[in-house]
Amino acid sequence: MIVMTSRQFNQDSSGAKKAATKGPVFITDRGKPSHVLLTIEEYTKLAGQTPSIAERFYSQGADEIDFEPPRIDDFGLKPADFS
C-alpha cells in the first residue's frame, strides 16, 4: 500500500502517477486518508464499466501516424463538368 501526504502529492504528482501503476496511492490530508489515485484501468474494473468500442480499438501511438490520402489528380481522374 502506497501512502502520500497531500504535500508530497502536490510536489511530486508524476511520482504519484508512476506509483499508481503498481497499485492504489492513498493521499492523506492532516493524517487522514482523503483521496485515492488509481490508473484508469483499475478504476474501470472497480466501477464495473466496460471500455467503449473506440477504447477497444485504440492503439497507443496510432494518432501519430502520418497519412496523406491520394489526390484525385494522382489517378488521372477529373471532376465532372456540368456546364
Q: How much is the pTM?
A: 0.57
User: How wide is the angle at C-alpha 17 spanned by C-alphas 3 and 42, nearest 5°?
Assistant: 85
Q: What are phi and psi of 5, to 5 degrees?
A: -75, 160
Cell of 41: 484501468
Residue 46: strand, helix, or coil: helix
Question: What domains can be seen in the chain, in order of their start residue?
Answer: 1-52 (3.40.1620.10)
Share in percent of the chain as helix, strand, coil (round to 5): 40, 20, 40
What is the per-residue pLDDT across 19-75, written as a single tens digit (0 to 9) for each? 999 999 999 999 999 999 999 889 888 888 777 787 777 777 666 777 777 776 666
Helices (H) and strands (E) in the chain — how many of each? 4, 3
